[in-house]
Chain A
């Protein structure tokens, strides 16, 4: 069987259809950066070990470096360039800016995409490794600092901006939950209970 090693694909990126030829080896990360000039998504390790290339695939966070572009056809891709509402920053972006949730800024787009998904995952009732009781009867855990730390651990930050990242995610989560009815989980960023 003669196999073609490249394809013409159409990617749905930030609500736009973009058609491009890709070598099958091209990852979604390289397609975004090298073909579509969407360089906000960063390459930190290219091995799924740092989270700098985090994007949203069908609304869920994923690392673009291990996602082949050809296999992303048909899926809704959101990058850092697509999370703001026009000129209005996403609450997570605004919180990172205001609270200095970054230093060099290289991991930041991935952190922000990840944080957006973390807030949604939590709202959907997903437990985490920091959740003491995962049984559904136990209910959704509050989005404490420990929950945020665990859920954000797939995004490494070598500058060590974690403390303000946690505060930024907490602030954005509160801002996003405010319009909703129902009980709002009090986010306690001063919670220092780790490991006990």
Chain B
């Protein structure tokens, strides 16, 4: 780790101004990913701007019945919040499924969105990686890629986004707010992450110098009956090998609204709009759920070792929507 400066800021405009003045500065939130990457040598900032004390630590109801979540709200506080648990239970479940109690206490909502992939090649400086060193190659494609992407990847990079929280946010149409030196802006979460293409090192659509200030969840009555299902290679404290955020509004056996987002299958939380389209207005049956999953997964491009994710995601969609249907009937 190289030496760096440290500044603690207390207001958003000061934070943005400081970042603009220092080209190799980074914002420090909980540090659970950034500090680790600095130790690994993947990140080498010259200045850390500590934003943890910014007044962005509130979760507030919006006038239209949604929620606004400040960027420095910790994962723990997000998951413990009664309104989050009541209105968007899958979001609380997703956050609780991630990392550990210690890390959730440290990690912030803004940092969660900006965390980097855990691809073993990306975090190992002795190996090539197009995301870390553009043009150096992607050894995962021919190497170890059991937990790599089946959707939206390219031959340049098949790394997956590790966030659980983001999967639920994608399902619930979250909007990311940010501040720049030129004023504030917004990005829907589903447009927040850039396509991989041949630029896997460019990960988000945030303008240069932007500071994430919060996330807005629009009202979503469908989210009241929602679930996050995470599959991993041990029962806890592990990244997903496949996950699903699902919300369902079903009446008299007919699907009025459905939300589906996949985790650990793409470089970003994967909103399964094609599956949603297939299901909308149709019957809530296992056959329909399977057909919807197949429709979404028709775009899957598998590598030699990660084809199981197609089966896994299909099973998760069918199982979880069936459970939600049964729950709705109770």
Given A71-B52, A134-B96, A154-B237 in contact, is the A24-B6 Cβ separation under 8 Å?
yes
Partner of A71, one of B3, B47, B50, B99: B50
Partner of A127, one of B3, B22, B48, B92: B92
Chain B count of residues within 8 A CB distance of the other chain: 42
Most-contacted residue by chain B among A24, A117, A125, A133 (CB, 10 A): A24
In the complex, A155 Cα to B96 Cα: how many Å?
Answer: 16
Given A5-B3, A24-B5, A27-B35 in contact, is the A62-B46 Cβ separation under 8 Å?
no
In the bound complex, do residue B35 and residue A66 qualify as a contact, i.e. CB atoms below 8 Å apart?
yes
Across-interface contacts of B96 in A (CB, < 8 A): 127-129, 131, 134
In the complex, A82 Cα to B208 Cα: how many Å?
Answer: 44
Given A24-B48, A129-B96, A153-B237 in contact, is the A47-B105 Cβ separation under 8 Å?
no
A34: Cβ under 8 A from any B Cβ:
no
A35: Cβ under 8 A from any B Cβ:
no
In the complex, A123 Cα to B158 Cα: how many Å?
Answer: 42
Across-interface contacts of A46 in B (CB, < 8 A): 39
Chain A count of residues within 8 A CB distance of the other chain: 49
In the complex, A51 Cα to B106 Cα: how many Å?
Answer: 13
In the bound complex, do residue A154 and residue B101 qualify as a contact, i.e. CB atoms below 8 Å apart?
yes
| Overall SS of chain A's interface | loop
Given A129-B96, A134-B96, A153-B236 in contact, is the A62-B106 Cβ separation under 8 Å?
yes
In the bound complex, do residue B102 and residue A62 qualify as a contact, i.e. CB atoms below 8 Å apart?
yes
Given A63-B106, A66-B32 in contact, is the A1-B22 Cβ separation under 8 Å?
yes
Stretch at the interface among A53-61, A85-93, A182-190: A53-61
A39: Cβ under 8 A from any B Cβ:
no
A192: Cβ under 8 A from any B Cβ:
no
Across-interface contacts of A67 in B (CB, < 8 A): 31, 35, 106
Stretch at the interface among B78-86, B188-196, B255-263, B267-275: B78-86
B211: Cβ under 8 A from any A Cβ:
no
Across-interface contacts of B89 in A (CB, < 8 A): 133-135
Chain A, 14-62, CB within 8 A of any chain B CB: 23-25, 27, 46-48, 51, 54, 57, 60-62
Cβ contacts B66-108/A at 8 Å (1 or 0 each)? 0000000000100110100110010011001101111101100
In the complex, A144 Cα to B6 Cα: how many Å?
Answer: 43
Interface CB pairs A-B, < 8 A, 30: A3-B46, A5-B5, A24-B48, A25-B1, A25-B3, A48-B32, A48-B36, A54-B102, A57-B105, A60-B105, A61-B101, A61-B102, A62-B102, A63-B103, A66-B31, A66-B36, A66-B103, A66-B106, A68-B48, A70-B6, A71-B8, A121-B76, A127-B79, A127-B96, A129-B97, A134-B89, A135-B85, A154-B99, A154-B102, A155-B100
| Residues of chain B whose beta carbon lies under 8 Å from any beta carbon of chain A | 1, 3-6, 8, 21-22, 28, 30-32, 35-36, 39, 46-48, 50, 52, 76, 79-80, 82, 85-86, 89, 92-93, 96-97, 99-103, 105-106, 230, 235-237
